[in-house]
Amino acid sequence: MYKISLMDLSDLDTAYEIEKRTNPSPWSKENFFSSFEVGHKSLVCKLDNIIIGFVIYSNYKKESHLLSIAVDKNLQRKGAGSLLLESMIRQSKALGAKKILLEVRMKNKGAIDFYKKFKFVEDAVRADYYTGSNPDDALLMSLDI
């Protein structure tokens, strides 16, 4: 059974390993850790007390911005990502957010379909948003909550 909890400092190394294994352009370790230090909200999903996924988001006034969400590859499409996103949406509502914003790679059809399942809508395309060895445009999506 999955368990969602707040991410704490002791979870960062494991969550970052998942970030590196699942994200084609992962955050640097410094960016990942500084996100925690600056107060971004973050949750982990555990299975048998082992971290299998996480979500990181910021909240500002009436908006939440989904910054990163990932589930270990061998456990994807088994409900952990949905549970993380549902938990993030509930927390955002509790913090007073009325909208959730995110960017997703245009090539990542699986993620786009995942967000659409939660009623996120396509707002715009940001050209050349993702750089480096795996460049891509970003699809901007939002959800009114």
Q: Whole-angstrom Cα distance, residue 80 to residue 103? A: 20
Strands 2-6, 41-47: parallel, antiparallel or unpaired by DSSP?
A: antiparallel
On the 0-12 / 13-18 / 19+ scale of CB atoms within 10 A, 124 is: exposed
Active site residues: 103, 115
Q: How many whole angstroms from its chain centre is CA 91?
A: 14
CB atoms within 10 A of CB 24: 12
